[in-house]
Amino acid sequence: MNIKSLIRSVPDFPKPGIRFRDITPLLASSTGLRHITRELANRYEGKVDKVAAIEARGFIFGSMLAHALNAGFVPIRKPGKLPGETIGHNYSLEYGINRVELHVDAVAPDERVVVVDDLLATGGTARAALALLERLHARVVGCAFVIDLPEVGGRAKLERAGYEVHALCSYVDAE
């Protein structure tokens, strides 16, 4: 299946010069969702205990994958969204600082975890999520994304840090 055919490119959104990759047509496709779930499940079957997904769109794909793998689901959220005791990690954006948080009891030491999100660009959010999992002594088996934007450099950063990165499709800027 051609996943890209279900992803809409929106020029100049949310600001001029940005080409937004809109996954809503993909989300509307039951065939597309089944395909993504099957592809990711085949890759991680028997290799993970938990699926950690990054808010918000990562929750969609992460929860489907956790269900398919009969694994637990770990939400990595924006500040103040989790009710229990949390740990957090700040990371830089081109226009400031952001933060993600995780429950302190979300992952046991040595549990095998895959990190899931819809899109990999700079890798900042993914790297922050990975830092949280490392603090809990999880064993990260990989990072999975629906879309990779390799020209932005996130994949290279994650791979240089020693993480396996898997993406179902990628775009160069002109596409």
pLDDT of residue 141: 98
**SS3 per residue for 79-93:** CCCCCCCEEEEEEEE
| Adjacent-strand bridge partners of 119 | 147
| Adjacent-strand bridge partners of 76 | 54
Candidates 147, 149, 107; CA nearest to 130 is 107
Fold of 47-170: Rossmann fold (3.40.50)
pTM of the complete model: 0.95
Active site residues: 57, 94
End-to-end CA distance of the chain: give it in Å, rounded.
Answer: 18
What are the pLDDT tens digits along the chain (175 aa)? 999 999 999 999 998 988 999 999 999 999 999 999 999 999 999 999 999 999 999 999 999 999 999 999 999 999 999 999 999 999 987 677 999 999 999 999 999 999 999 999 999 999 999 999 999 999 999 999 999 999 999 999 999 999 999 999 999 865 6
